[in-house]
Structures are given as structure tokens and as C-alpha cells.
């Protein structure tokens, strides 16, 4: 339906004009993609609820209660797009987020209307389409915009069947109406925005997500001078942020560190570059990276250099020293980020593969979230952590089939290796994952998050339709980063000493805490996210509130202003438990690799006579590799008097080697913090 030029709904609206109110019902009649609108309901006391369960025909009289228009038609294609920014805090980020999104829409030439949603002072950004977009496109827009603007409510744009928003002028349940602040309502009744413009907007959002920025930025011209710190190191101005998920994972990538097997399983220089580029984009400084140089696995390329297939420690001084290499690589990384509008790969299939895998992992997560009680009772909390870790590893590797040994999964999930082992068995038995290749020798087992029984359930059938919209460029890669970021944040928040079993608060409360944030959230929303019953979740939140981890205000829950997990962990005697566990597992890995090398030496043809092999007491401080033959730095594996392998002695020798490596009396050519 179209309206006349002199109708109130078609007039340009700047600041609200009480003398020219919006005819909300006439506008609704013009906008609605369906013949019905949704109407809110009231409870037994007569209080209007934020639940739109009733319906009213658009050709009938205006409802007495607040109403909302569907964004998609009955064919589940979106003809309206409404960005609903909730105002849950004071001051509210909704105003800033509305400005960011409005600027993006203006940049893409997309006409839109900005409304003050009601007395809560939230914001609605409306745009109508001259055509339509499918549900996948609308959901992608919502998820990418949410990554940049956390106050955005995903529900209206991710549910084509029931997604709805109150139109401009519609009443609010707490009084007042949705008031137009900016824009021309005629752009909604006579739309000019095309689906191609929406896809272009998604491409722009993908670039911003890929660059891990929160506001639109452009590349710096190559001739523009960059600022330097007090030590002469380049940096990009701006507030320091968390590392991008890919860079954060690379920083802690044990595969990049020099291990007992010798040659690393990852290209240490490529891993370093991933870390430095992400750090520069996140506005880190040179000294932030230098402080991590002694211990971070992903910085191994700074500590050692490849030498004939092996890694050797770098000299303490000179152009090949760790400090000199870091200085050069940091300068290159900062200049690269400053002069590159977007970092792209050369694999033309990456975006498509990322899109497909992300869609599947999201479906697995949605299925898990919709399984009441599976993850809250008994061993369920540990099982959910392990499932989340496997999904995270799959996204990082861009493969549904991945190698993951039990200890690695346990460390990432913040559980013990036995808990992780049994959890993997239960998840396999229940059809959440599949064992595709058992562990063998130095290799861990291969697991898949695409078991045959679930492949048909989770397949995205919309991609098979001939009328499916083309995916915007970069959307798949950006959605992968968004989901990877969310899973990393959740697993890292839960994997804390305080949330270990025994004297700690336990895995379940850790999972509940990881689902909270600094944005106030209702119990119903948290219950939906944690697959918990509301009454049980309320009791769990009260336990977290009692120790100061969360707070309850205005009927909503949010994290406390200060993170007191370390303080609480120290109080109950569990601080350092996970780091001790990580050290113990590292000793066990090296000892196992030592035995694997010994076994390979024993079974190799024409092996060197045992009398020519180095003894076990001739250990390097930290063996960079486990080789066979007389040049092995580990020497022969310890034996008991009866000739059997002495695993206890091997673990003790490895532990002593690691302790010597980290002794302050030993100089490994690693720069001190002051040198940064």
C-alpha cells in the first residue's frame, strides 16, 4: 500500500514535532508485509507485557495495546529491516551504536529512519526494501552488526517467522510512543533501498569485523607518518583492545613453540606474523608484545631460528637477537596494518568454506542450547565445555575433522584430562561428535563435529533453493570470526581456577558465569542461553552474587564491576591450579615424546650401539627436539634394573630440565622487560 504525499506518514521528520504526530496505524498499514500484526498481552494484574502473542488485522481498527509489525512476509523473505538497540544501562550504549550504524547506512547511501523506541530511550533504525532479502542475509546483517554494536537485539532479524518490531509512532508498554528522531518516513512507504545495497552493507560490515574495529576507519596513506613511542617504536593511535580471535589463538598456539619432537608442527614465522598484525590492529604497543616474549608459545620465532630443520636459540645480541627481530617485525606489522584497508587471503574458496563450516557449528551450538538439562546435571557442564572447545578448534582450523589430544582439550576447557576423556566418550555416544581416527603414537585422536547421524539434521537446506540470495563478499569469513570470538570468550571465561571441581565453585557455575556479561540480562534470556530452568538458574545466579561475581539490578543480572575471580580462587586455595596442571601435562607430553623417540630408535634398522648413545644425565636445559642416535640431546630413555622403561625417572628428568630452563640464572638470549 502507498500513502498520499500529504499524509503524516510521508512527511520528512527531523526533530519530533508534536503538532505533526505520526499516524502510527496508517503507517503500519503501509509498511506491514503481512495482513496481521502482533499485539502485546497483559498478565493477570493488567500489566502490559513485552510479549506479543496476540494478532490484529491491519485493515481493522488500531489495537488498544502496543503492536509490532512483522519484518518478513509469509514467504519468510524480509521486506523491512529494523535494527533494535536496547537501552539496558545508564548511560546506554544504544545512542553510540545508533550513531555508528547510521553513519554506515549513510556511507552506503541507504535511506533510513531513526526512532527513540520509548521511555527506556532505546533506538530503532528502520529501512524498507524495494524488493526483499532472504532470512540468511538478514541474519548475517544482524550478527555482524551485533559484533560492532553490542546493544543490538538479534531476535527480530534472525527469526523470519516471528521477528517483529514496533513501528514509528506505536505506543510503548511503559507509556509514550516510538518517536522519529531522524529521517524521512516516505523512505519507508516508498522504498528505494535495493537488496544489492544491503549486501554491500554486509560486505562493509565484514571488513570492519575482519579488521576488529568498532567504528568505520580507512587506511592510512603510505606517506603519512606514524606516531612513535618513547623508545622509537611505531604504533597506531587508539585505545588498546583485546586481540582478534585468530591472533589470540596464534599467541597461545603450542604447535608454534619449539617442542621435544624437534621440528614444530606450525610455521613459527607465520604464527608470529598473525600475532603481530592482530596486535597492531588492536592498538597494542611494542612493549606489550615484548613483555610476552619469554613465555608466549606463538612468539617462538623471536626466541629461536630454524637451522637445518631444527630450531636453535637466537644469540643474546646482534641483528639476529630476539629484540632486534621483534623491532623489525613490529615495524613491518604496524606499517602493514596502517596502509592496508583490509587484510585478505589468496584462497578464493576460503569465504565459502568459512561460511559453510560456521553455519554448521552454529547449528550444533543451537541444538546444544535447545537441549534442556543436558548440560546442567552431573557431568553435563564438563561435557558442554568440551563440545565448545571442539567447535572452537574446528572454526580455527576451518575443518570439521581435527586432531585434538585429550590433554589439549582438557587445558582449553579448564577440566582435568580424565574429565575430558570421559566427556569425549559421552559426546560420541550421544551423537554430538564422532571419532574419525584413534590416537596413534605421537598423534592424538581425530574428532569430527559432523557425525553422520547429525549431518542431515544440520544441513542448511536454504542453500539448495534456486531463489537463495547470493552471499555478500566476505560474509562467511566475518561470521566465522564473530562466532569464533564468542566461543573463545566463553571458554576462556569459564576456564578459570575458581571454576574447577573440588574446592572451587565447579564447572556448572563457571558455565553460567561465562554466559553473563556487563550488559544487564534477564533470567529468561540467560536460561535460554544456558539451557537451564529459570528457577534453577536464578539459584545459580544468587550463588554467584553472594561471592561478588554478578549483581542484580532492576530485574536484570550483570557481571560485577570488578573481576574478583583471582581473589576468590586464592581465598579457597585453588589459585594456580590450572597453570600447575598445564605444567604437569607439558612434562607428560615431553616424556611421552621421549619414549616415542626411544621406541623409534629401537625399531630402526642398523641403529647405533647403545654404548655410543648419550646418557640421560646429558639433558639440554630444554630439549628442542627428540632425535634418535648418538646425537640425541635427551640420551637414552631411563630404564629400571629389569630393563623396562622408567617413566617416573623420565618425567623427573624432564621436569628438572624445564625448571632449569626457566631459572633466572640462565641466559637464553631473551630480552628483559626494561629493554622494551
Domain tally, the chain: 4
Nearest to 505 by CA among 514, 595, 596, 138: 514
For residues 138 and 84, give the distance between their C-alpha atoms in angstroms, rounded to a whole number: 13
pLDDT for the residue numbered 531:
73
pLDDT for the residue numbered 70:
97
User: H or E segment at 661?
Assistant: helix 647-661
Last residue of a domain, one of 571, 601, 631: 571
Same domain, residue pair 595 and 559? no
Q: Does residue 229 form part of some domain? A: no
Tell me which of 661 and 668 has the higher pLDDT.
661
Lowest mean pLDDT segment, chosen from 130-134, 369-373, 471-475 = 369-373
Give a three-class secondary structure readout of 418-481. HHHHHHHHHHHHCCCCEEEECCECCECCEEECCCHHHHHHHCCHHHHCCCCCCCCCCHHHHHHH
Lowest mean pLDDT segment, chosen from 61-70, 291-300, 525-534 = 525-534
Which triple of cell numbers denotes residue 493?
Answer: 571465561
Tell me which of 91 and 587 has the higher pLDDT.
587
Question: How far is residue 369 from each of residues 366, 372, 530, measured CA to CA in Å?
Answer: 5, 8, 6
Contact residues for 541 (Cβ-Cβ < 8 A; gap 6+): 512, 523, 526, 550, 552, 557
For residues 163 and 146, give the distance between their C-alpha atoms in angstroms, rounded to a whole number: 16
Radius of gyration of the chain measured on its C-alpha atoms? 29
For residues 411 and 424, give the distance between their C-alpha atoms in angstroms, rounded to a whole number: 14
Contact residues for 7 (Cβ-Cβ < 8 A; gap 6+): 23, 26
What's the mean per-residue pLDDT of the chain?
82
Same domain, residue pair 59 and 158? yes
Tens digits of residue pLDDT in 498-518: 999 989 999 999 999 999 988
- The C-alpha cell 533494535 sits at 84
pLDDT(130) > 90 = yes
For residues 8 and 3, give the distance between their C-alpha atoms in angstroms, rounded to a whole number: 9
- The predicted model gives 212-231 an average pLDDT of 58
Please answer whether residues 647 and 595 qualify as being in contact, where contact means their C-beta atoms are separated by less than 8 angstroms.
yes
Tens digits of residue pLDDT in 65-107: 999 999 999 999 999 999 999 887 656 688 889 999 999 999 9
User: H or E segment at 247?
Assistant: helix 245-251
Nearest to 330 by CA among 301, 366, 354: 301
Tens digits of residue pLDDT in 226-268: 788 888 899 888 768 778 777 887 888 665 555 544 444 457 8
Please answer whether residues 352 and 476 qualify as being in contact, where contact means their C-beta atoms are separated by less than 8 angstroms.
yes
pLDDT(667) > 70 = no
Same domain, residue pair 481 and 619? no
Tell me which of 48 and 343 has the higher pLDDT.
48
- The C-alpha cell 608466549 sits at 296
For residues 340 and 494, give the distance between their C-alpha atoms in angstroms, rounded to a whole number: 35
pLDDT(404) > 50 = yes
pLDDT for the residue numbered 266:
52
Which triple of cell numbers denotes residue 642?
Answer: 629389569
pLDDT for the residue numbered 230:
81
pLDDT(200) > 50 = yes
Same domain, residue pair 85 and 166? yes
Q: 348 φ, ψ to 5°? A: -70, -15
DSSP label at 79? Answer: E
Bridge-partner residues for 551, per DSSP?
558
pLDDT(8) > 70 = no
Same domain, residue pair 556 and 598? no
Q: Does residue 311 form part of some domain? A: yes
Quickly list DSSP for 388-403.
HHHHHHHHHHT-SEEE
pLDDT(208) > 60 = yes
pLDDT(566) > 60 = yes
User: H or E segment at 557?
Assistant: strand 556-559
For residues 45 and 188, give the distance between their C-alpha atoms in angstroms, rounded to a whole number: 37
Residue 584 has a CB neighbour count (10 Å cut-off) of 14
What b-and-e string marks burial along 165-183, b requiring 16 or more CB atoms within 10 Å of the CB?
Answer: bbbbbbbbbeeebbbbbbb
Give whichever of 110-119, 336-345, 656-665 has the largest mean pLDDT: 110-119
Residue span of the structural domain in which 106 resides: 8-194
pLDDT for the residue numbered 607:
56
Tens digits of residue pLDDT in 59-70: 999 999 999 999
Q: Does residue 202 form part of some domain? A: no
pLDDT for the residue numbered 255:
54
Q: What share of the chain in percent tops pLDDT 70?
A: 80
Give whichever of 202-216, 243-257, 264-278, 652-666 has the largest mean pLDDT: 264-278
Q: Does residue 674 form part of some domain? A: no
Lowest mean pLDDT segment, chosen from 453-467, 547-561, 625-639 = 453-467
Q: 634 φ, ψ to 5°? A: -85, -25
pLDDT(631) > 50 = no
For residues 281 and 283, give the distance between their C-alpha atoms in angstroms, rounded to a whole number: 5
pLDDT for the residue numbered 610:
58
Tens digits of residue pLDDT in 308-324: 667 889 998 888 899 99
pLDDT(463) > 60 = no
pLDDT for the residue numbered 24:
92
- Find the CATH number of the domain harbouring 177: 3.30.70.1790
Same domain, residue pair 324 and 404? no
Q: Does residue 237 form part of some domain? A: no
Which triple of cell numbers denotes residue 601?
Answer: 630408535
pLDDT for the residue numbered 346:
54
What's the pLDDT band for 202 if we cut at 50, 70, 90? very high
Q: Does residue 201 form part of some domain? A: no
Nearest to 131 by CA among 88, 81, 84: 81
Same domain, residue pair 537 and 594? no
pLDDT for the residue numbered 598:
79
Which triple of cell numbers denotes residue 422?
Answer: 570421559
Last residue of a domain, one of 339, 362, 386: 339
pLDDT for the residue numbered 276:
93
For residues 197 and 200, give the distance between their C-alpha atoms in angstroms, rounded to a whole number: 5
Q: Does residue 565 form part of some domain? A: yes
Question: How far is residue 294 from each of residues 182, 366, 587, 667, measured CA to CA in Å?
Answer: 53, 40, 19, 11
pLDDT for the residue numbered 131:
94
Tens digits of residue pLDDT in 150-191: 889 999 999 999 999 999 999 998 888 999 999 999 999 999
Please answer whether residues 138 and 154 qualify as being in contact, where contact means their C-beta atoms are separated by less than 8 angstroms.
no
Residue 608 has a CB neighbour count (10 Å cut-off) of 14
Last residue of a domain, one of 164, 194, 224: 194
Q: What share of the chain in percent tops pLDDT 90?
A: 46
Same domain, residue pair 567 and 629? no
Report the chain's terminal Cα–Cα distance, integer Å: 67
pLDDT for the residue numbered 487:
92
pLDDT for the residue numbered 40:
92
Bridge-partner residues for 129, per DSSP?
193
Quickly list DSSP for 170-213.
PBPTTSSB-EEEESBTHHHHS--B-HHHHHHHHHHHHHHHHTT-
Nearest to 131 by CA among 82, 198, 177, 181: 198
Say how many CA atoms lie within 13 Å of 436 toward its Cβ. 15
Same domain, residue pair 164 and 66? yes
Same domain, residue pair 405 and 534? yes
Please answer whether residues 577 and 500 qualify as being in contact, where contact means their C-beta atoms are separated by less than 8 angstroms.
yes
pLDDT for the residue numbered 21:
54
What's the pLDDT band for 609 if we cut at 50, 70, 90? low
pLDDT(273) > 50 = yes
Same domain, residue pair 411 and 331? no
Tell me which of 49 and 135 has the higher pLDDT.
135
pTM of the model: 0.73
pLDDT for the residue numbered 259:
52
Which triple of cell numbers denotes residue 32?
Answer: 506491514
pLDDT for the residue numbered 274:
87
- The predicted model gives 428-457 an average pLDDT of 78
Q: 133 φ, ψ to 5°? A: -125, 155
Q: Does residue 217 form part of some domain? A: no
pLDDT(216) > 80 = no
Lowest mean pLDDT segment, chosen from 2-11, 232-241, 414-423, 438-447 = 2-11
Bridge-partner residues for 261, per DSSP?
625
For residues 42 and 592, give the distance between their C-alpha atoms in angstroms, rounded to a whole number: 65
- The predicted model gives 126-150 an average pLDDT of 94
Tens digits of residue pLDDT in 477-496: 999 989 998 998 899 899 99
Preceding peptide of 209 cis, ω within 30°: no
Same domain, residue pair 317 and 389? no
Helix, strand, or coil (residue 652): helix
Amino acid at each position: 500500500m502507498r500513502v498520499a504525499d500529504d499524509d503524516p506518514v510521508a512527511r520528512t521528520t527531523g526533530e519530533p514535532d508534536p503538532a505533526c504526530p505520526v499516524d502510527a496505524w496508517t503507517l503500519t498499514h503501509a509498511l506491514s508485509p503481512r495482513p496481521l500484526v502482533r499485539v502485546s498481552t497483559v498478565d493477570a494484574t493488567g500489566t502490559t507485557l513485552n510479549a506479543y502473542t496476540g494478532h490484529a488485522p491491519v485493515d481493522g481498527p488500531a489495537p488498544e495495546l502496543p503492536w509490532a509489525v512483522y519484518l518478513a512476509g509469509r514467504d519468510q523473505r524480509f521486506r523491512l529491516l529494523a535494527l533494535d538497540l536496547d537501552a539496558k544501562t545508564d548511560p546506554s550504549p544504544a545512542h553510540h551504536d545508533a550513531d555508528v550504524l547510521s553513519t554506515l547506512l549513510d556511507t552506503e547511501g541507504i535511506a533510513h529512519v531513526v526512532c527513540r523506541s520509548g521511555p527506556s530511550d532505546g533506538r530503532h533504525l528502520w529501512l524498507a526494501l524495494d524488493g526483499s532479502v532472504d532470512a540468511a542475509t538478514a541474519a548475517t546483517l544482524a550478527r555482524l552488526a551485533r559484533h560492532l554494536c553490542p546493544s543490538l537485539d538479534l531476535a527480530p532479524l534472525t527469526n523470519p517467522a516471528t521477528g517483529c518490531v514496533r513501528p514509528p509512532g506505536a505506543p510503548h508498554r511503559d507509556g509514550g510512543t516510538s518517536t522519529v528522531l531522524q529521517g524521512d518516513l516516505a523512505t519507508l512507504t516508498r522504498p528505494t533501498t535495493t537488496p544489492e545495497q544491503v549486501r554491500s552493507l554486509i560486505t562493509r560490515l565484514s571488513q570492519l569485523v575482519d579488521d576488529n574495529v568498532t567504528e568505520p576507519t580507512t587506511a592510512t596513506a603510505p606517506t603519512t607518518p606514524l606516531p612513535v613511542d618513547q623508545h622509537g617504536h611505531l604504533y597506531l593511535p587508539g585505545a588498546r583492545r583485546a586481540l582478534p580471535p585468530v591472533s589470540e589463538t596464534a599467541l597461545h598456539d603450542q604447535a608454534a613453540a619449539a617442542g621435544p619432537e624437534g621440528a614444530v608442527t606450525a610455521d613459527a614465522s607465520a604464527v608470529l606474523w598473525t600475532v603481530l598484525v592482530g596486535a597492531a590492529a588492536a592498538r597494542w604497543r611494542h612493549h606489550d608484545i615484548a613483555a610476552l616474549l619469554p613465555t608466549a608459545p606463538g612468539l617462538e620465532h623471536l626466541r629461536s631460528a630454524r637451522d637445518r630443520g631444527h630450531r636453535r636459540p637466537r644469540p643474546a645480541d646482534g641483528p639476529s637477537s630476539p629484540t632486534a627481530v621483534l623491532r623489525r617485525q613490529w615495524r613491518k606489522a604496524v606499517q602493514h596494518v596502517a596502509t592496508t584497508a583490509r587484510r585478505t587471503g589468496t584462497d578464493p574458496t576460503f569465504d565459502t568454506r568459512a561460511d559453510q563450516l560456521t553455519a554448521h557449528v552454529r547449528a550444533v551450538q543451537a541444538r546444544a542450547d535447545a537441549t534442556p538439562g543436558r548440560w546442567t546435571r552431573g557431568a553435563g557442564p564438563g561435557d558442554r565445555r568440551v563440545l565448545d572447545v571442539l567447535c572452537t578448534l574446528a572454526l580455527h582450523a576451518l575443518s570439521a575433522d581435527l586432531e585434538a589430544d585429550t590433554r589439549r582439550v582438557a587445558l582449553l576447557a579448564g577440566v582435568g584430562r580424565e574429565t575430558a576423556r570421559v566427556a569425549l566418550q559421552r559426546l560420541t555416544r550421544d551423537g554430538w561428535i564422532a571419532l574419525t581416527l584413534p590416537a596413534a603414537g605421537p598423534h592424538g585422536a581425530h574428532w569430527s563435529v559432523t557425525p553422520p547421524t547429525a549431518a542431515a539434521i544440520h544441513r542448511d537446506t536454504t542453500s539448495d533453493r534456486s531463489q537463495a540470495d547470493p552471499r555478500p563478499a566476505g560474509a562467511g569469513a566475518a561470521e566465522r570470526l564473530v562466532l569464533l570470538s564468542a566461543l573463545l570468550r566463553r571458554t576462556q571465561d569459564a576456564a578459570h581456577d575458581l571454576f574447577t571441581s573440588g574446592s572451587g565453585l565447579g564447572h556448572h557455575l563457571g558455565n553460567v558465569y561465562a554466559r553473563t556479561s556487563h550488559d544487564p540480562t534477564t533470567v529468561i534470556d540467560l536460561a535460554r542461553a544456558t539451557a537451564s530452568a529459570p528457577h534453577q538458574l536464578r539459584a545459580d545466579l544468587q550463588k554467584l552474587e553472594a561471592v561478588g561475581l554478578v549483581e542484580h539490578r532492576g530485574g536484570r543480572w550483570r557481571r560485577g564491576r570488578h573481576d574478583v575471580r583471582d581473589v576468590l580462587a586464592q581465598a579457597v586455595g585453588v589459585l594456580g591450579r590450572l597453570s600447575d596442571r598445564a605444567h604437569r601435562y607439558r612434562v607428560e607430553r615431553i616424556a611421552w615424546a621421549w619414549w616415542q623417540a626411544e621406541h623409534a630408535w629401537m625399531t630402526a634398522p642398523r641403529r647405533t650401539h647403545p654404548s655410543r648413545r648419550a646418557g640421560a644425565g646429558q639433558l639440554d636445559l630444554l630439549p628442542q627436539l627428540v632425535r634418535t642416535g648418538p646425537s640425541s640431546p635427551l640420551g637414552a630413555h631411563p630404564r629400571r634394573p629389569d630393563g623396562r622403561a622408567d617413566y617416573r625417572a623420565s618425567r623427573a628428568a624432564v621436569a628438572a630440565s624445564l625448571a632449569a630452563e626457566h631459572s633466572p640464572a640462565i641466559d637464553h638470549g631473551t630480552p628483559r622487560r626494561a629493554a622494551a
